[in-house]
Structure 1
């Protein structure tokens, strides 16, 4: 029995040594085995509906408060409160979609009810948060047009060919808030905080669903050569349009083929 036990232990040691030696080659295999065991987060349509109602209630209350404000200081205080609310609301709404399947032509309006493309994910969350925008028209635009529908050109931050770690370092130290970011062939949300950033998007790569990724996990963001983003919640005009429920004019592309840029 002792000899059998020693033989088993020796064999196990050899297997472990071989696996360690070939760990780089075997890691894709291990990931392919492990990935099916990972449970995707469940979309939360009920919470999403509640957040939509809450967004409208807060918008009306803050709008009334802004209308009553008489001094610049009072108005600025309401806008600061508006920004704080949106920077809490928007990421919460985004996360209600986690686990919702991606599809290039996906146009789902409710978390978990159908599939959704990246452009429709961005436009639907913005519409449901209270921005008066045509989600169909917005979703069909190239990513830079989606951002420009909300922000002036001078507010955009464009990086082409910048190594990912350099770019990630810039974003990690940027002003906190909710950003829209366009990539080579993708559009997403970038939520920046003092402790880093979250990249929230409907991913056309594994796991092919809406995901919330940190700096180390954001492979789609890492691989892109083109990155353009703008701070949505840091713009006074954007906050005022939300408060006043003003219609947002979509910057349309002159060519129909440009719609492929954002999916």
Structure 2
């Protein structure tokens, strides 16, 4: 009987995988229980981002001097570095799926690339989230920052890499791994790794340096700071369409995992 049961489970392993993941989450200790997505808060933040973008864009257009324009860009950066992590956290607990394309938190399942692309779109960046989400992580990052602003590290011990990120310039970053893409929010107290995780607990999570096992295990890491780039800030203010680097979906679907 045991052999028959194992054979049946193996045959239907793909169909049973979501149920198995949910069952494992259900028996997690209370401290590990995943939060519920905050749909209402996310909607409010989207509206606030749209209002702030219009107001800051108007002020930037009216600015008469270089100093005045720089002041508006500084305020723009400050706003995005505040609102983006709040928007990311609204997704916490949204289930992961390799093919997930949820339009908002708690509205279905979400792949890692779609999580990154959707948050950026909803914050006001004019980007085709479908095309962006299907690119390799390096193309996703390259769509927002110039190549010289990207830092690639291969085969570097996690402790060494994490120590560098601990003292990195604060801001919002995209980080690409062997087969994953995520946000990295760097600050004066270290960094947070926010992503739709294809590992336990198989949902969107906000992890500390210590808890970020997916980040730790990767041999390849590419990252770049989005929120400091003046050209990107001006593109956000102007509602300028952002060109996605790469053509067609990623052959290995690297950004989805």
Q: Secondary structure at the match of 2:224?
A: strand
Q: Secondary structure at the match of 1:93?
A: helix
Distance in 1 (alpha carbons) for counterparts of 2:58 and 2:155: 46
Q: Deviations over 1:152-201 (max 9, x none)?
A: 11000110000000000000100000000000000000000011000000
Residue number in structure 2 paired with 1:57: 51
TM-score, length-normalised on structure 1? 0.86
Choose which of 232, 246, 250 in structure 2 pairs with 1:252: 246
The alignment's C-alpha RMSD in Å is 1.6
Residue number in structure 2 paired with 1:165: 159
Residue number in structure 1 paired with 2:38: 44
Residue number in structure 2 paired with 1:143: 137
Residue number in structure 1 paired with 2:3: none
Q: Secondary structure at the match of 2:183?
A: strand
State whether residues 25 and 201 of structure 2, in contact with CA within 8 Å, keep that contact through their aligned partners in structure 1: no
1:224-235 matches, cutoff 5 A: 224-235=218-229
Unaligned runs of 5+ in 2: 1-23
Residue number in structure 2 paired with 1:101: 95
Residue number in structure 2 paired with 1:35: 28
Shift of 1:39: 2.0
Q: Secondary structure at the match of 1:89?
A: helix
State whether residues 93 and 203 of structure 2, in contact with CA within 8 Å, keep that contact through their aligned partners in structure 1: yes
State whether residues 141 and 261 of structure 1, in contact with CA within 8 Å, keep that contact through their aligned partners in structure 2: yes
**1:126 counterpart = 2:141:** no
Higher radius of gyration, 1 or 2 = 1
Q: Secondary structure at the match of 1:169?
A: helix
Choose which of 123, 146, 151 in structure 2 pairs with 1:152: 146
Unaligned runs of 5+ in 1: 1-30
State whether residues 92 and 205 of structure 2, in contact with CA within 8 Å, keep that contact through their aligned partners in structure 1: yes
User: Runs in 1 of length 4+ with deviation above 6 angstroms?
Assistant: 31-34
Q: Deviations over 1:3-50 (max 9, x none)?
A: xxxxxxxxxxxxxxxxxxxxxxxxxxxx99972543211100000000
Q: Secondary structure at the match of 1:136?
A: helix
TM-score, length-normalised on structure 2? 0.87
Distance in 2 (alpha carbons) for counterparts of 1:42 and 1:198: 19
